[in-house]
Amino acid sequence: MLLQPEGYKFITTIQGIRLLMIRNHTFSLSSRSKTLYYCSKKVRKHCKCSVRLTEDGAVFVRGEHTHGPPLYRQLPGDVSDYKFIQTIHGKTLLMVNGYTYTENNRAKNTYYCSRKYKSCKSSIKFDDNGKITSVRLDHNHCPPIYKPTHNGLYFKCSTDQNPSMYTDIPVHSIFGRRETSGQPIHKRLS
């Protein structure tokens, strides 16, 4: 069966694995080919369905699945849309979807929600290249509110007596890279 390029998309799992998705079924790139993808359930469900992508974007599907599609959901927000900000006190924070995170002193490249002391369990881990390796975005509170100033700093609006000022830090200054993957992160439900 021949599919149009609009009939498929690529997703990135929470483990950082890039999969081809067609009609909610996922396919992994063959280690022996740059154009051949096998069903992600090839071993577990003995599924022989495969896909070949051509250079011009055509998609050829061979075989039928022996199972239903796995369930994936996109994590809230686009985690690839993050930035590092720095307080006027020199502290670096990670900002994702308006929430701020502080780096764990004991675990390199692991950031916990700035409200961890309020029992928030949200966390994000990166590898040394700045690629997200695990995400937990379930907050038990609303994000803090920031107002930008004319000079690029952020003013944190809160009930704290000493509000902070923030400025953007390029991602590459944290991880030594200019860009992140830019792919939304997906979490497998089944």
5-31 residue pLDDT tens: 456 787 777 667 788 888 888 999 998
pTM over 0.75: no
Q: Which residues of 144-169 are buried (b: 16+ CB within 10 A; e: fewer)?
A: bebeeeeeebbebeeeeeeebebeee
Across 126-155, average pLDDT: 74
The pLDDT tens digits of the residues spanning 36-88 come to 999 998 888 889 999 998 877 778 888 999 988 887 766 554 565 678 876 65
Instruction: Report whether pLDDT(190) > 80.
Output: no
For residue 154, what are the β-bridge partners? 148, 166
Question: Domain 82-188 carries which CATH code?
Answer: 2.20.25
Q: CATH number of 2-70: 2.20.25.240, 2.40.10.10, 3.30.420.40, 3.40.50.970?
A: 2.20.25.240
Sign of the alpha-carbon torsion through 64, 70, 75, 80: negative
Query: Which part of the chain has CATH 2.20.25.240?
Result: 2-70
Task: List beta partners, residue 26.
Answer: 21
